[in-house]
Amino acid sequence: MLDIKQIRENPQTVQQQLNRRGDYELQPILELDEKQRQLETERSQLQARSNQIGKQVGEKIKSGSDPKGPEIKALKEEGNQIKAQLSELEPEERKLKAQIEALLLNIPNLPSESTPVGKSEAENVEVKRWGDEYIPQNPKIIPHYEIGEKLGILNFERGVKIAQSRFVALMGMGAALERALIQFMLNRHIEAGYVEVMAPLLVNSQSLTATGQLPKFAEDSFKCEADDLWLIPTSEVSTMNLYRDEILSAEELPIYHCAYTPCFRREAGAYGKDTRGLIRLHQFNKVEMVKIVHPDRSEEEHQKLVADAEAILQALKLPYRILELCTGDLGFAAAKCYDLEVWLPSSGTYREISSCSNVRDFQGRRANIRFKEGKKKGTQYVHALNGSGLAVGRTMAAILENYQQVDGSVKVPEVLQSYMGCEFI
């Protein structure tokens, strides 16, 4: 959530920054804010006069005035009139505040000053490419879903029977490979200083609002209507909300967490895309990295976050590239974002496998997570970062293609062989 004070004091600057992202209008917020502040001033003045009247009545009675005399009666009548006015103003002010908050919740984060300007993903900027020497030269590589079905480790038909389309059942060595990837990723992140978290997969509306999924992306999430609980689209939600409405000490920062969870997404905006395979499922496994840091460190921590995601791909020897997202392709909460895309040889293209975002104080403000620094007065909102480390199903897809052998088997990446207990599937 953006700071209403920043919008109020620098409306043109904030509007210009939002214009880099798309069509977002601040004027309705500014108009409501002006009305709310006028009401607040009026209410404060009336409250001050009410307090003054109460004090005057007490002083006059104490000095000998008749409690039922005309002077006291006139003061009390004025006080009653003020109370009646306040009883009308207070709910009106609360209504205006709620309207302002509702509008603010639908405004995205401001892009970083260094984020490239662009209207769509076509204007994202490639900043790095790694592992060209590992791109397989086998000309007969078939898509991961085909080799997976031939090997009997992916069963989409039974996944559909159990649930619906965009679900899969992992069988035998498929389940083992998924489990090996999860454990390998967690182990690497823990070695890098992250503390593992296993938090609820069902979260309340307040939690999704805190990280930015609600209200804007309600249609992309699965809701349990009877309980006001939602299945998480990413463990970033559960992990960030561990600290909601808390004031941390500066000494507690930075906080590094990693978490493995299943994730659930309707993919409402992706109708017809990637209908086959592991790329775009309604349920998928992911290992997530989340950082809660001091504002002075967030840029540095962002680069380290990207490096931690890269380390997994490099250990698996999977070719990838890094894109810096332009303003028109940024996620709702992100101020700056890098996408890691892994090479899928069957389609001759790179596909997203990790999105590493610096959201600055956007989630800290929505979740009301602050920190106090030493003896300084007041508190500051934390900066938050998140990134996939990695999307497990997409990593499996990349392995099934990049490690595919001419004889139809799949070699297990060297770093996973001890987890799997074999060299080939």
Catalytic residues: 265, 280, 352, 355, 394
Burial class (CB in 10 A: 0-12, 13-18, 19+), 352: middle
> What contacts 217, CB < 8 A, 6 or more positions away?
233, 332
For the chain, how many residues are written? Answer: 425
Task: Give the torsion sign (CA, 182, 300, 336, 98).
Answer: positive
Q: Which amino acid is at 423?
A: E
How many beta carbons lie within 10 A of that of residue 279, not counting itself? 22
Q: What is the DSSP string of 302-326?
A: HHHHHHHHHHHHHHTT--EEEEEPP
Dihedral angle computed from the Cα positions of residues 341, 345, 347 and 353, in that order, rounded to the nearest 10 degrees: -20
- Please state, in angstroms and as integers, the Cα–Cα distance from residue 404 to each residue in 170, 319, 340, 410, following that order: 18, 14, 22, 4
Per the CB < 8 A criterion, the answer to whether 233 and 216 are in contact is no
Tokens describing residue 401:
């293609």
CA geometry: angle at 312 spanning 307 and 314, to 5°? 85
Structure tokens at 100: 């302002």
Within 10 angstroms of residue 272's Cβ, the number of other Cβ atoms is: 5
